[in-house]
Chains A and B, each alone.
Chain A
Amino acid sequence: MKIRVIASNTFKEAIRDRILYLLLFFAAVCIAFSRLLALLTVGDRVKIIKDVGLGSLSLFGALMAILMGTGLVYKEIDKKTVYTILSKPIHRYQFLLGKYLGLILTLFIMLLLMSFIFLALVFFHSFTIEWKLLIAVVYIFIEICLITAVALLFSCFSTPILSSIFSLSFYLIGHTSWGLENSINKMNSGIGKILIQILYTFLPDLENFNFKTEVVHNLPIPSEIFLYSFIYGTFYSVFLLALAMLVFRKKDFT
């Protein structure tokens, strides 16, 4: 109940925040831009629209998660609104979870709106509603949930600017760490391989949620990959949230 109250208030805060609409506008422009790119391309124009459109959804979703997530708790501490809330009969973890779920709800609705624009654009070119594209969107959403958890964790102990830099680094590392997996396969066994293996285990691999190529090019995806990515995303997010709660539980609000 109390988590729901905090979540709905966080949602209300985000909806009344103008930055969100600015981001949504840019996302819509980027999706529409894919139409222009398609006109300039030789070959399958619809594929270009799908590719750029999904790319925009993923990038803007992540940007929204980082920009809003990093200010989520910091703003409450900075403006001292947290004093009033935490003096009420509420556990700290309920407050943090409420903030997280409120932002996730906001991002879900934003993604839904962007997906609607995207599907409509694809429909005007192919005259079919390509529901398969939504598979990629669902995994973009799982990735956004994870990035929000990262941003929330940093927001518990750092300023929004630093948290944004950390979260953005996490996002970039997450999308390039798959290169380490390739290196591991190509390396001979030895201490170097073990070190890279350890590094790869701890670094996030956000490419696990990237199904854009498969859905755009109609490639088959084994069902166990879906399941693995879902479990990976869920566990990673829960782990980060637990870490954030641990940091927040003993925090002094000076």
Chain B
Amino acid sequence: MNAVLKISDLHKSFKSGFIPRKKEILRGISLDVGEGEIFGYLGPNGAGKTTTLKCILGLIFPDKGNIEIFGLPHLSLEAKEQIGYLPENPYFYDYLTASEFLHFCCQLTLIAKKERKKKIEALLRLVGLESSTHLQLRKFSRGMLQRIGLAQALIHEPSLVFLDEPLGGLDPLGRKEIRDIIVRLKEEGKTVFLCSHILQDIEMICDRVAIIVNGEISSQGKLKDLIAEEILFTEIVLSGVDDQKLRRLGDAVFAHGEKILLKVYQEEKIDQVLRLVQSEKGTIHSLIPRTETLEDLFVDMVKKG
């Protein structure tokens, strides 16, 4: 794997309180992000996700450890030229219009004047803000700010994009659109470092993940290596069967109306359930085998941590 981001033994602590007490936020984070992958960075609130991101971007200085971006020191301008960043709950200069703000970003990233207009139009179209080009950012909703934030992160066509909770504040349609953009970035050969709480999205689009708990990486690797593929249990939704008889075969949980949700843990008991339904002239509405999900892994890691 050709690593575009290499973090080794990252430590960071903050002092707080009237009598300053040191609180360790990051305790030796080490991770590599490979070229062209979507890397998911997960963790509960306060685990140190944003602190890690801020260290990478040079917004805070680590106590110890090393960060390299494309083999360059992370604070060098050459490294920064290759990265884009969308902060969590983004807030930008609200007195500027969407177009003025992107112009400002173009100037900071030294994009030639003649290219700017075309680039800005294309990006506003990409994030679905073409009708708000001349609207001041103070009139933007949270979802719109998220979109303009993504546009400014991509304006200079960076090779590595850091997205901190990019799907927060978006409606389901907006989430799908942003997810599609992230996947398109990967198809264009760009690397995406994604911090998110929305595990389904991470599971859907990430190639590799790292889970941070209490400032330490508790699990890291390819999704298929981390999540066990064997069937954990089978969920059967059925009706027209006496639930007392079902309880002997699995955990019966009442669902809506007549329907019963049954969790069956042993494979051989599935046949018994089917035979019971047949004999009682009941109905099977669905039968879904459940493998381990990222959520299961995440909850497990957090509990252990």
Residues on A close to B: CB < 8 A? 1-2, 5-6, 9, 12-13, 16-17, 79-91, 250, 252-254
Contacts and interface: CB of A to CB of B under 8 A. Distances in A.
Contacts of B87: 80, 83-84, 87
Interface in B77-111: 77-78, 80-81, 83, 85, 87, 89-93, 95-96, 104-105, 107-110
Can you list the 4 inter-chain pairs with the closest CB atoms, starting with the nearest?
A87-B85, A89-B80, A252-B60, A5-B107
Contact of B152 (A2, A84, A90): A84
A84 B92 contact: yes
B54 interface: yes
B57 interface: yes
A103 to B, nearest CB: 15
B95 A87 contact: no
Interface string B1-41: 00000000000001000000000000000000000000000
A239 to B, nearest CB: 25
B61 interface: yes
Given A9-B93, A86-B58, 20 more contacts: A2-B107, A5-B107, A12-B96, A13-B93, A79-B91, A80-B87, A82-B59, A83-B85, A84-B92, A85-B108, A86-B57, A87-B58, A87-B162, A88-B108, A88-B109, A89-B78, A90-B77, A253-B59, A254-B14, A254-B54
13 contacts: A1-B107, A6-B108, A83-B57, A83-B59, A84-B85, A87-B83, A89-B108, A90-B77, A91-B77, A252-B14, A253-B59, A254-B14, A254-B60
Interface string B155-177: 00000001000000000000000
A12 B93 CA distance: 10
Nearest to A87: B85
A9 B103 CA distance: 11
Nearest to A98: B108
B54 A16 contact: no
Interface of B: 14, 54, 57-61, 77-78, 80-81, 83, 85, 87, 89-93, 95-96, 104-105, 107-110, 149, 152, 162
A1 B109 CA distance: 10
A80 B60 CA distance: 13
Contact of A250 (B61, B107, B108, B162): B61
Contacts of A88: 80, 105, 108-109
Nearest to B93: A81
A254 to B, nearest CB: 6
Contact of A5 (B54, B89, B96, B108): B108
Nearest to A5: B107
A82 B91 CA distance: 10
A167 B66 CA distance: 39
A86 B107 CA distance: 14
B96 A87 contact: no
A35 B60 CA distance: 55
B104 A9 contact: yes
A87 B85 CA distance: 7
A81 B92 contact: yes
Given A87-B83, A88-B80, A89-B80, A2 B108 contact: yes
Given A2-B108, A9-B104, A254-B14, A87 B59 contact: yes
Nearest to B57: A87
Nearest to B162: A87
Contacts of A13: 93, 95
A91 B78 CA distance: 11
A252 B51 CA distance: 11
Contact of A12 (B59, B92, B95, B162): B95
A211 B26 CA distance: 57
A1 B77 CA distance: 15
Contacts of B93: 9, 13, 81
A96 to B, nearest CB: 15
A80 to B, nearest CB: 5
Contacts of B14: 252, 254
A88 to B, nearest CB: 5
A89 B61 contact: no
Nearest to A1: B110
B60 A87 contact: no
Contacts of A81: 91-93
Nearest to A2: B108
A253 B152 contact: no
A84 B87 CA distance: 7
Contacts of A9: 93, 96, 104
A89 B59 contact: no
Nearest to B100: A12
